[in-house]
Every structure is written in structure tokens, then in C-alpha cells.
Amino acid sequence: MDIKSKIEDLQCFLTVIDSGSFSSAAIALDMQVAKVSRNVARLESALAVTLFNRTTRRIELTAEGRDFARCVRDSLNLLAQGEEELMARQGEPRGRLRIDAVSPFLFHQIVPHISAFNQRYPEIELSLISNENIIDLIEKKTDVAIRVGQLSDSNLHAKKLGNSRLRIVASPEYLAKCGVPQQCNELHGHQIIGFADNPKLNNWYLKDGSSIAPTMLASNGETVRQLALSGNGLALLSHFMIREDLAQGRLIEVLPEQVQSPNPREEVHAVYYKHSAISSRISAFLAFFAERIEL
């Protein structure tokens, strides 16, 4: 079989797509912009096709470029899996493992166990990435994503890690100053900390069916937690991120029986692509953390 494309050129091609520009790709690949450009040009020449439409302000994939990119991703993934399976036969899982999760899950459930994980699997190189929104695993070159909430992706493998109950909490200082609500309708007289970028997270799933309008917004759960700890109001947060705060009395739960459970925000899954043969390092990660996370 005569393959005209070089692996380095293909990797440059995909990195330009994923990063959005030749200069960003050069930074990601730690090479000069001119070399990235030459590699892509060499690929286009070898294939006798234009992969990108280039202007002074942006680049855009051609129709041929889009079709070819799908094939390249699948092929390079398959090649990487083959190499990995061979390495796995030689001993311990090894290689880079890129994990994506919302920042509170990383801070409170993953980071505390990294030292133990590194001791157990010294040949695995972890990359921990925080994204507050759902990402495309292939586009972001991510092996495993931890997703909090109900899944909707049918093309993903999913390992359910458990459920984490939602709790309405506030600091002792705030409750001493503003009072402890005894019924759901009393919440409307309180300061409410909510989420700025994902309105679905402002659904408190109250049993009486009422809705809550935040009076203060933050972009991620960890900021919401910090605002609550600092006495800025009531917040609805997952137990996995506040269990220590509750145990130490830094936060107090209110109306514990008024939040519906189960509800779509309680589920926690680890996801990865179905068409990828699960690697030894992904298996190691899932098994290790499934025994340690506390939801």
C-alpha cells in the first residue's frame, strides 16, 4: 500500500484544525510557524488537493479537508491504540492520559489522590484539564471526561461513578445574619448564588416546583462555593465538592428534604469514545478512582 502522507504532516494538519490557526498550532507542537506551514503544504502537494482556504484573517477547511480530517483522526487513533497495546504487553500501563472535568471535581475528587496514583502508575503521564462546558473528546485530544449530570451523547462509552446529592447550603455567618429558611417560599427573600453560563444549573429541583432566580452569578462551581463560604448567600451544590465543608461546619445545609432526589444533576459518569479500544491506562485510571472518589 502506497501512503503519500507523512505522520508529522498529518499531526500538523489536525493541530491546525484543533487550535484554529498555524501560529497556535506551532505553539502547541513546539515548532516554528514556517515549519507547520511547510508540513501542511507538503501534505497538500502530496495529495494534490487544497485542505485549507486561507485569508489574511482566518483559515477554513475545504470540503475535501473536512472529509480527510475525519479519516486522519480515525487512522491516527487506531495507530496509537496499536502502539499502546504493544507497550501494555511489556508491563505497566504507560503513556499520556488526558483527563477533563469541571474544576470542582478536579479540585475535590481527583487532585487529592494524584500522588497515590503516580506512585501506583509511575509510567502514566497525567494531564488534568478543567472545562466548565461539555467538550468534544476527539477535538480536544481527551481520553476521559468526567461529566456531572445526565448524559446525552449516544456515541460514548460511559462508566457511572455514582450519584452526588444536591444540597442547599450557606455559611453560618450568612444564616446568622439573614435567617434560616424553613420553607421553599422563604428562599425568595434570600441572596441566591447561581451560574452565569449554564442556566440549567440554576434549576434547584425543589419539591414544590418553584423556581429560583439568582441574585449573584459565577462562571463555575468552585467560584459559587467560594462565594457561599464567604457569606454571600445560599447556593445549590453537589455533595462531592462540599462534604468537607459540611463536616467542618464551614457550610450549613438548609431545607434538606426539599430538593428532589434523584434528579438529572446528580449523576456522575466517566466517558470515552466507543470506537476507541479502551487502553490499559484508561482502565487503570477508572479502576483507581472508582474506589476513591466520595460523591
Q: Judge whether residue 89 has pLDDT over 80.
A: no
Q: pLDDT per residue over 204-221, tens digit each?
A: 999 999 999 999 999 999
CATH topology identical between 92-162+266-290 and 166-254: yes
Q: Which helix (H) or strand (E) holds 36?
A: helix 33-47
**Mean pLDDT of the residues in the chain:** 90
Give the mean pLDDT of 143-171: 90
Q: Which CATH class is domain 166-254?
A: alpha beta
Query: pLDDT > 70: what percent of the chain?
Result: 94
Three state DSSP letters for 101-121: ECHHHHHHHHHHHHHHHHHHC
- Of the two residues 234 and 7, the one the predictor is more confident about is 234
Q: What is the pLDDT of residue 1?
A: 61
Helix axes 22-29, 33-47, angle to 10 degrees: 110
Where do the structural domains in the chain lie, given as residue ranges?
Answer: 7-87, 92-162+266-290, 166-254
Q: What is the CB neighbour count within 10 angstroms for residue 238?
A: 24
pTM over 0.85: no
Give domain 92-162+266-290's CATH number out of 3.10.180.10, 3.40.190.10, 3.30.420.40, 1.10.1740.10.
Answer: 3.40.190.10
Give domain 7-87's CATH number out of 3.30.360.10, 3.40.50.261, 3.30.365.10, 1.10.10.10.
Answer: 1.10.10.10
* Burial readout 240-266 (b: 16 or more C-beta within 10 A, e: otherwise): bbbbebeeeeebbbbbeebbeeebebb
Q: pLDDT per residue over 31-51, tens digit each?
A: 899 999 999 999 999 999 999
Q: What angle do CA 11, 30, 118 make, to 5 degrees?
A: 90
Q: How far apart are CA 33 and CA 285, in angstroms?
A: 35
First-last CA distance in the chain = 51
Q: What is the pLDDT of residue 127?
A: 95
